[in-house]
Amino acid sequence: MKSQIAYLVLNRMAAALVTLLVVSFTIFFATAMLPGDVAEVLLGQAATPEAVAGLRTAMHLDEPAILRFLRWIGGLATGDLGTSYANAIPVAKLIGGRLANTLKLAAVTAVVSVPVALGLGILAAVLRGTLFDRVVTALTIGVISVPEFMIATSAVLLFSVYLKWLPALSFANEVQSLGQLLRVFVMPVLTLSFVISAQMIRMTRAAVVEALDKPYAEMALLKGASRTRVVLRHALPNALGPIVNAVALSLSYLLGGVIIVETIFNYPGIAKLMVDAVSTRDLPLIQTCAMIFCLGYLLLITIADIVAIVSNPRLR
């Protein structure tokens, strides 16, 4: 059994590496097909054809795409993220502080949303069919149906325009006290938490309900075990794999949601940096930011799959 678990884990890790390679290929050629000439965008409309041709040669844009891809992927493998076209400085230096801000926002959102979502999902499963369950289900469906940009815009209108409690823009570099921390993170975290918590609640509830309907849970109840003991000792351990997958999927969606949230609140994170790079056709910066998001997504999904494999009672 241990050898089977090890084989499944290694197989899943190998699949993640292959997926990452395919994703890198897709990202490179998708960004290479962006409309407009990078050299012309950087030099402006007054640039001469000779200057444009010289800049394209200096940036290796006149080489075949496959050679540029191999050079780029080789640089990533060795830690060389390239040089920004627009700023002429290393990409690693540009994304350093921005990545820290995005991770900080994601961490605060996860700390707030994961315990709340798991608690509500488990409680709704235990109280299945009650008014509490119906209210939670209706609210989660409603929140899932509303896009995050609508939630973010509504938060700005309510807390910034009408109530004037919070600033409409978030500046992470101004955090020097607890009050400033709350002012910076409340609306972005609130927006992201609404989006990821709703899906997490539904998936957690479904996993626990399925576990409670199993014969071993019903047998434990017939033997006199309390409802709480059945949930904690029987249902939750067997629903751990689906619950971890629910958390991982929700947090992976968080990586995409920060693009909209950082743009609306002007939060200085890596997603905002990538959006700004698109307007200047800064291909190395766009490609690196996209790879970071894809790597984070693959990492979360792979960890969830490994936890599901290891926690599977039949394999143990």
2-34+81-310 has CATH 1.10.3720.10 classification: yes
Whether 231 shows a pLDDT value over 80: the answer reads no
* pLDDT tens-place string over residues 14-53: 888 898 889 888 888 888 777 666 666 666 666 677 777 7
Single-letter code of the amino acid located at 267: Y
Whether 300 shows a pLDDT value over 80: the answer reads yes
Residue 145 tokens, joined: 């149906």
Question: Could you tell me what percent of the chain has a pLDDT over 70?
Answer: 88
Are 166 and 186 a contacting pair, CB within 8 Å?
yes
pLDDT computed for residue 68 by the predictor = 85
Whether 173 shows a pLDDT value over 60: the answer reads no
279-308 average pLDDT score? 84
pLDDT computed for residue 177 by the predictor = 61
CA 235 – CA 205 distance, rounded (Å): 11
Q: Roughly how many angstroms between the first and final C-alpha of the chain, as a whole number? A: 6
pLDDT band at 316 (very low <50, low <70, confident <90, very high): low
Whether 264 shows a pLDDT value over 60: the answer reads yes
pLDDT computed for residue 296 by the predictor = 85
CA 308 – CA 121 distance, rounded (Å): 19
* pLDDT tens-place string over residues 44-90: 666 677 777 777 777 777 778 888 888 888 888 888 888 888 777 88
| Top-confidence residue, 69 or 307 | 69
CA 144 – CA 150 distance, rounded (Å): 11
Helix (H, G, I), strand (E, B) or coil at 242: helix
Are 106 and 259 a contacting pair, CB within 8 Å?
no
CA 168 – CA 184 distance, rounded (Å): 9
Whether 172 shows a pLDDT value over 60: the answer reads no
Alpha-helical (H) ranges within the chain are 2-32, 38-43, 49-58, 65-77, 91-126, 131-145, 148-155, 178-212, 215-222, 227-229, 236-238, 240-264, 270-279, 283-310
Closest CA to 42 of 241, 280, 294: 280
